[in-house]
Amino acid sequence: MKQIHSFGQSIWLDFIDRAIISSGNLKKLIDEDGIRGVTSNPAIFEKAITSSSDYDNDIRSLSDSDKTNEEIFFGLAIADIKNATDIFKGVFDESGGTDGFVSLEVSPFLALDTEGTAKQAAELWKAVDRKNVMIKIPGTKPGLEAIKQSIAKGININVTLLFGLPRYEEVTEAYISGLEEHLKAGYSIKHISSVASFFLSRIDVLVDPMLDEKGLGDLKGEIAIASAKKAYEIYKRVFSGPRWEKLAAQGAQPQRLLWASTSSKNPAFKDTKYVEALIGADTVDTVPLETIEAFRDHGIAANTLEDGLDKATEALDRLKKAGIDIDKITQQLEDEGIEKFNKPFEKLLQAIEDQKSKV
């Protein structure tokens, strides 16, 4: 895992719970595997809270107040995030503020609410009160303005749920515009950090069955990687040139691409497939524990991100010619992604309600 970092990519853990923090295992992952950050989401917290008794006492004590179940959840989550950011402070300092981040997501119920998202992002940022926290905002159409507003307030943002290239480019615009606004207001932009989380395996899960029907079976498991490689092309183009250089001169950091949904969903694929294919400079890869263990065991670290760009372009062209509309597919994935986070969040709030009733 540490070898990956030598190619300029940071590995972040896609998991958090109280046990990994209190046992010292999170610190061990930093020391032994070179893990440089943590991402969380509603599904991860739902699993953490419902599958252990670690949170029960806190839920009981918080339920004595007039807090809603959502407020109780954020109370629990913020405590975990603060503890994790403290563990990663050394990484944050050593990297000059480019790594060592821990991400906390706004309520998935706000995914299509610009105002609500921007308001909650500011509240969570203030509540965690750590330089190395990132607030996660979904890259939905309404999320774009919330991302811009949050960056303009100097908040670190992890843009999540990105599947399509046109939307990714809109996200880079929101980031750059936000930096320009913050600078215009007379503030330094050196401390602002952001990543754009591009989801991978779910693209292939949806596209692969269509490929056989169109006689494109050879492209199975390749479309997500091709899209990611094209996203990196956009990244290199956007974060260069006069407009960006003006901000870079003021200390702005580029918004790195982050590869998410990196565990293989198809048992026919190698379990480290998505990690191995997209190792490259100035990127982040967030991986679950089992993928870290798999990579530690049999992963191959090599600078692969810019290999086969022609092949990636050709794969997406063949898709288009066959009448498969990738933009329509990525919009469907975004809609489903919102639902996939809403469901565990509802389950989580119900689990808190159930725990309260045991008091």
Tokens 């119900």 — which residue? 350
Q: How far is CA 73 from CA 50, 59, 82, 105, 203, in A?
A: 12, 8, 14, 12, 30
User: Can you tell me whether residue 31 is helix, strand or coil?
Assistant: helix
Using alpha carbons only, give the angle 139, 145, 150 rounded to the nearest 5 degrees: 90
User: Can you tell me whether residue 216 is helix, strand or coil?
Assistant: coil
Q: Say if residues 284 and 259 touch (Cβ distance below 8 Å).
A: yes
Q: Say if residues 219 and 203 touch (Cβ distance below 8 Å).
A: no
Q: Say if residues 97 and 189 touch (Cβ distance below 8 Å).
A: no
Which residues are the active-site residues?
Answer: 136
CA dihedral 284, 195, 84, 339 (to 10 degrees): -100
> Taking each helix axis from N to C terminus, what angle separates 141-152 and 114-128, rounded to the nearest 10 degrees?
40
Q: Give the C-alpha separation, 247 to 243, whole Å.
A: 7
The per-residue b/e assignment along 200-235, b for 16 or more CB within 10 angstroms, e otherwise, is bbbbbebbbebbeeeebeebbbbbbbbbbbbbbebb
Q: Give the C-alpha separation, 327 to 178, whole Å.
A: 26
Distance in angstroms between the alpha carbons of the first and the last residue of the chain: 44
Q: Give the C-alpha separation, 259 to 248, whole Å.
A: 24
The continuous run of DSSP H or E covering 24 comes out as none
Q: Say if residues 43 and 341 touch (Cβ distance below 8 Å).
A: yes
Q: What is the CA radius of gyration of the chain?
A: 20
